[in-house]
Amino acid sequence: MPLLPLSPVRTGGKLARSSGDTLEIDGLIFEVHRSDRRKTLQITVERSGELSITAPTGVPEWDLASFVEEKLLWIHTKIEEKARLQKRAPIKEFVNGEGFLYLGKSHRLRLVENQLVDLCLKNGRFCLRASSAHRARDVFIAWYTRRALKWFSQQVAEHANRMGVQVSEVKVQDLGFRWGSFSADGRVSFHWKAILLPPRIAQYVMIHELAHAHHPDHSASFWTKVEQHLPDWRTRKSWLAENGVQVEGL
Ligand SMILES: [Zn+2]
């Protein structure tokens, strides 16, 4: 993303550059999101390593810059952590004996000759039709997507009312580095990979997204909402942060 035109801001000796929607500080580039609903500044380090700052409308850039500078150590630690986790993601091979996750359990793969469907889960094993092996990844993703849609639709139906949330549609798709999202028109989406997680963790993802119907940010009131419906959300959240990446190697 081009950083021009530059409007240099002096902050504690380090040069901060800004182009309106991005801010460069100490060699790091932050995407700046402004929102009328926000009360505080928040820095996010995505799993991809992308950086962003969410800020209330009207907070001047130099305030953003000094906020970032105060947090530089934390930011660098986070970036390293994410990079380390990224490297850990195993790459799957679609061969006999390879393990594939589904709702937290690993199932071994068996290539079979005669089978009507591309893929099925039978007696605890994934059976992949040998003639479909050349497009195994797509076959798996399609299977996971169908199962995820069924599982999350049931979960949402069970919990949305209780949480006072109107859901217009449940969707499952590739959400990149996000597990889920909730849009203002009541659509809740989940990454197909979320069906690889253990049920209690997938449930946390679901409650988290539904809570966004009440609070679009990650403010204290958002987490209070999550806690009302999932008192032990903290352990589930940290499990996801630590182990979530393991499900990405498909
Ligand atoms: Zn969230």
Residue 98 lies in a domain: no
Q: Is the same domain home to 74 and 141? A: no
Yes or no: say if 109 and 125 are a contact pair by the CB < 8 Å rule.
Answer: yes
Please give the residue range of the domain that contains residue 40.
Answer: 9-88
What is the DSSP secondary structure assignment for residue 51, as one 8-state letter? Answer: E
Residue 131 lies in a domain: no
Residue 112 C-alpha to ligand 1 middle, in angstroms?
41
Residue 241 C-alpha to ligand 1 middle, in angstroms?
13
Cite the beta strand spans of the chain per DSSP E: 9-11, 14-18, 22-25, 28-35, 42-45, 51-56, 99-102, 105-112, 119-122, 125-129, 169-173, 180-182, 187-191
Residue 13 C-alpha to ligand 1 middle, in angstroms?
34
Q: Is the same domain home to 233 and 145? A: yes
* Domain final residue, candidates 53, 72, 88: 88
Q: Is the same domain home to 157 and 231? A: yes
Q: What is the pLDDT of residue 84?
A: 77
Do β-strands 169-173 and 187-191 pair in parallel, antiparallel, or remain unpaired? parallel
Report the chain (250 residues): mean pLDDT per 10 consecutive residues.
37 52 87 89 86 92 91 90 73 92 96 96 97 96 98 97 96 93 95 96 98 95 97 96 75
Q: What is the pLDDT of residue 132?
A: 96
Residue 182 C-alpha to ligand 1 middle, in angstroms?
8
Yes or no: say if 193 and 205 are a contact pair by the CB < 8 Å rule.
Answer: no
Q: What is the CATH number of the domain that holds 169?
A: 3.30.2010.10
Q: What is the pLDDT of residue 98?
A: 95
Q: What is the pLDDT of residue 8?
A: 40
Structural domains in the chain (count): 2
Residue 100 C-alpha to ligand 1 middle, in angstroms?
27
Interhelix angle 136-159/199-211, nearest 10 degrees:
60
Q: What is the pLDDT of residue 92?
A: 86
Q: What is the pLDDT of residue 90?
A: 67
Do β-strands 99-102 and 105-112 pair in parallel, antiparallel, or remain unpaired? antiparallel
Residue 212 C-alpha to ligand 1 middle, in angstroms?
7
Q: What is the pLDDT of residue 96?
A: 96
